[in-house]
Amino acid sequence: MISPVLPTYTRAPLSFKKGQGPWLETDAGEMYLDMGAGIGTCSLGHAHPKLVAVLEAQARRLWHTSNLYEIPNQEALAEKLVEHSFADTVFFTNSGTEAMELAVKMARKYFSAKGQSERVEIITFEGAFHGRSSAGIAASKGAKMIDGFGPILPGFVQVPFNDIEAAKAVIGPETAAILLEPIQGEGGIRPFGDASLKALREICDEQGLLLIMDEIQCGMGRTGKLFAHEWAGITPDIMTIAKGIGGGFPLGACVATEEAASGMVAGTHGSTYGGNPLACAVGCAVMNEITSDGFLIDVSRLAGHLRQGLEGLVAGHPDIFTFVRGSGLMLALGCKVPVMDVVNAGYDEKVMVVPASDNVVRLLPPLNMSTEDLDEAVWRLDRAAAALERKLDCENNKGLQA
Ligand SMILES: *Cc1c(COP(=O)(O)O)cnc(C)c1O
The closest of 301, 320, 289, 292 to 383, measured between CA atoms, is 320
The closest of 81, 86, 326 to 210, measured between CA atoms, is 86
Cα radius of gyration (the chain): 22
- Which ligand 1 atom lies nearest to the CA of residue 215? 13
> Under a CB-based contact definition with an 8 Å cutoff, are residues 176 and 108 in contact?
yes
Phi, psi (deg, nearest 5) at residue 386: -60, -40
Q: Is 97 in the pocket of ligand 1 (CB under 6 A)?
A: yes
Output the pLDDT for position 402: 65
The residue nearest atom 5 of ligand 1, judged by CA position, is 96
Output the pLDDT for position 218: 98
Pocket test for ligand 1, best of 129, 179, 192 (most atoms within 8 A of CB): 129
The closest of 93, 22, 15 to 250, measured between CA atoms, is 93
Predicted structure pTM score: 0.97
- Which ligand 1 atom lies nearest to the CA of residue 95? 7
How far is it, in rounded angstroms, from Cα 107 to Cα 212?
Answer: 8
Q: How far is CA 5 from each of CA 8, 36, 133, 205, 223, rounded to the nearest angstrom?
A: 9, 23, 20, 47, 35
Output the pLDDT for position 100: 98
Q: Is 214 in the pocket of ligand 1 (CB under 6 A)?
A: yes
In this structure, how many other beta carbons lie within 10 angstroms of the beta carbon of residue 313? Answer: 19
Q: Is 130 in the pocket of ligand 1 (CB under 6 A)?
A: yes
pLDDT, averaged in runs of 10, over the chain (402 residues): 96 97 96 98 98 98 97 98 98 98 98 98 98 96 91 97 98 98 98 98 98 98 98 98 98 98 97 97 98 98 98 98 98 98 98 97 98 98 98 86 70
The residue nearest atom 6 of ligand 1, judged by CA position, is 96
Output the pLDDT for position 281: 98
Strands (E), 143-244: 156-159, 175-180, 183-184, 190-191, 210-214, 238-241
Q: Is 95 in the pocket of ligand 1 (CB under 6 A)?
A: yes
Q: How far is CA 250 from each of CA 15, 41, 87, 213, 260, rounded to the nearest angstrom?
A: 20, 9, 21, 20, 25
DSSP 47: T
How far is it, in rounded angstroms, from Cα 262 to Cα 195?
Answer: 29
Q: What angle do CA 335, 337, 340 make, to 5 degrees?
A: 85
* CB burial of residue 291 (10 Å; 0-12, 13-18, 19+): middle
- Which ligand 1 atom lies nearest to the CA of residue 100? 10
Output the pLDDT for position 143: 87
Residue type present at position 188? G
Output the pLDDT for position 324: 98
- Domains in the chain (CATH in brackets) are 16-34+294-401 (3.90.1150.10), 49-290 (3.40.640.10)
Q: Is 217 in the pocket of ligand 1 (CB under 6 A)?
A: yes
Phi, psi (deg, nearest 5) at residue 257: -75, 160
Alpha-carbon dihedral of residues 240, 244, 248, 254, nearest 10 degrees?
-20
> Under a CB-based contact definition with an 8 Å cutoff, are residues 37 and 249 in contact?
no
